[in-house]
Amino acid sequence: MFLFLLWCKNDASQILIDVLKSILNRDVIQSIKNLEEYQEAFPLYSLNLVLEKLKQNKESLLDRNNPEWKLVFNLILDNYSSKLPASVIEKLKNQ
């Protein structure tokens, strides 16, 4: 059982890393895909606020220079910063 829980944690961590990378790269399509994968695999740990924001603004976020990205970063910082490493928080703040 312990090995299964450890595997799940590592799997969740890898998906979250992929989510953050795609968001920091301002890739809305990949971000939505990664978040949907995470939600499907780990429904108890919702990142629905971010997923919905990306889906609602998908067309405008296709432009990686759109200021709407700053709202996505702030949404993450406002709701999830207590669970993020300091290095990721800095990257989100400096985007």
DSSP H helical segments within 1-95, as ranges? 2-24, 28-41, 48-56, 58-61, 68-80, 86-93
In a domain, 72, yes or no: yes
Work out the mean pLDDT of the chain and round it to a whole number. Answer: 86
pLDDT band at 10 (very low <50, low <70, confident <90, very high): low
Q: Looking at the 3D structure of the chain, how many domains does it have? A: 1
pLDDT per residue over 24-36, tens digit each? Answer: 999 999 999 999 9
Residue 4 lies in a domain: no
On the question of pLDDT at 1 being above 90, the answer is no
Residue 75 domain flag: yes
Whether 80 is in a domain gets the answer: yes
Residue 29 · residue 36 · CB < 8 Å: no
User: Is residue 3 one of the residues assigned to a domain?
Assistant: no
**Residue 5 within a domain:** no
> Does some domain include residue 1?
no
Q: Domain limits at 58?
A: 10-93
34 in a domain, yes or no? yes
pTM of the model: 0.84
